[in-house]
Amino acid sequence: MEVKKTEIQKQKKFIADLRADGFLVFKINDSYIAGFPDIIAIKEGKVRFIELKNLDRRGAKLSLEQKHLHEKMKEHGVEVEVIWI
């Protein structure tokens, strides 16, 4: 029987995998800016902004704040990746 990982365990594994691939990773905790992505990952001069969403959470979706801020970031030439874990 497979035991489901908690959301925190999934995030920790995702971050560990990024670090193992050579990324410098920052996990943003309770950002003072509503909607700011969960993770900033840097490698070889490129910066990735990543929003993690839990596949196990029914109805999980981007909040209005996330949609708004991600759109603002896009207007400034920055993409936010939404990754379902």
Confidence at residue 60, expressed as pLDDT on a 0 to 100 scale: 79
> Could you say which of 3.40.50.300, 3.40.309.10, 3.40.190.10, 3.40.1350.10 is the CATH number of the domain covering 7-84?
3.40.1350.10
Closest CA to 52 of 4, 1, 13, 24: 13
Whole-model pTM: value is: 0.87
**Contact, 30 vs 19, CB < 8 A?**
no
15-68 tens-digit pLDDT: 999 999 999 999 998 767 889 999 999 999 999 999 999 888 777 799 999 999
Task: Tell me the H-state helices in 1-85.
Answer: 7-20, 64-75
**Contact, 84 vs 14, CB < 8 A?**
no
